């Protein structure tokens, strides 16, 4: 593992550890559903992981909220939500 990859991995770990609870709570308040909030929070962190930019995030909560808002919610009758 290169030094840059190690820095990225450590930054992602710190981001998840430090903000997953906040993000899930914020989403639960917005959505009114704990399960949907947990799913959306996980999807948010998957997108951050794929972007490989955790080490450069200056305002984590604002960034996570922006990423979460960009993820479409499943339709009410969507079989994937059952």
Burial of 68 per CB tally in 10 Å (0-12, 13-18, 19+): buried
CA 6 to mean position of chain CA atoms: 20
pLDDT tens, residue by residue, 2-54: 998 999 999 999 999 999 999 999 999 999 999 999 999 999 999 999 999 99
CA 56 to mean position of chain CA atoms: 15
The yes-or-no verdict on residue 78 having pLDDT over 80 is: no
pTM of the predicted model, to two decimals? Answer: 0.85
pLDDT tens, residue by residue, 54-70: 999 999 999 999 999 99
């Amino acid at each position: 593992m290169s030094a840059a990859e190690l820095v990225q991995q450590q930054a992602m770990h710190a981001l998840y550890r430090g903000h997953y609870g906040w993000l899930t709570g914020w989403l639960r308040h917005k959505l009114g559903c704990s399960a949907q909030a947990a799913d959306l929070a996980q999807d948010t962190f998957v997108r951050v992981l794929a972007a490989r930019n955790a080490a450069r995030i200056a305002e984590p909560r604002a960034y996570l909220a922006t990423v979460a808002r960009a993820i479409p919610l499943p339709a009410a009758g969507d079989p994937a939500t059952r």
